[in-house]
Amino acid sequence: MKIKAKPMGEYQTNCYIVTINGMDFIIDPGIGATAWVLENVTNPVAILNTHGHFDHVWSNAELQKKLNIPLYTPKGDVMLLQGNSWSPDLPPSKPDVEVEPNQEFDFKGIKVKFTHFPGHTPGCSTIEIEDAMFSGDFIFERSIGRTDFPYSSPQEMRESLEEFKKIPYDKTIYPGHGGTTTIKQEQQYSDYWIANL
């Protein structure tokens, strides 16, 4: 498995291309991501959103059209893809698959697992592919997603962190902003965040 990453736009939102068994998965194509993605894929099969915030989904529709591949978005965040007062200029996109909480998909033997961790947004999810977890804006290196946005919920974030603490294995975390970390590394800070939300 190869993972390419590039921070996009003024919020430096990480767009990822995961290549495995000759298939390319595009995760969170943000503002201005299209050209970079087109230069770095050879067999794209899906666009995957961790959540619906504009800086993670801006290039969804453009890539759907140019690559003719399906878009997978957590069901709870589909309403965020149509633009709103927070991001009125967002190019609207429509998922081909509205991902149910904790749904897993099989792409020719490659498992892609969405795990629902609401709080930052209603549908906020991590995406696991083999030994990698793409955490969007749920977990960062020594930080967590904000809960003061429209549709955010501090209580749901606390519950999500309690669930995150229970994960019995370790994987590398590739967050929506900043550098990589690991599940075990961030689990040790979970109680701090739960107490301070």
Residue 88 has a pLDDT of 74
pLDDT band at 20 (very low <50, low <70, confident <90, very high): very high
Mean pLDDT, residues 134-153 taken together: 97
Query: How many C-beta atoms lie closer than 10 Å to residue 193's C-beta?
Result: 18
Dig out the tokens for 17 from the structure: 């291309």
pLDDT above 90 for 101: yes
Q: What is the pLDDT of residues 46-81, one digit of tens each?
A: 999 999 999 999 999 999 999 999 999 999 999 999
Q: Which two tokens mark 39? A: 């230069």
* Radius of gyration from C-alpha coordinates of the chain: 15
* Structural domain range at position 125: 2-196
Q: What is the CATH number of the domain that holds 118?
A: 3.60.15.10
pTM over 0.95: yes
Cα separation, 121 vs 147, whole angstroms: 8
* pLDDT of the residue at 87: 73
Q: Which residue has the tokens 């453009």?
A: 62
Structurally, how many domains does the chain consist of?
1
> Tokens 């902003």, residue?
177
SS3 42: coil
Confidence of residue 183 (pLDDT cuts 50, 70, 90): very high
54, 73 contact by CB (below 8 A):
no
Residue 84 has what pLDDT? 66
- Mean pLDDT, all residues of the chain: 97
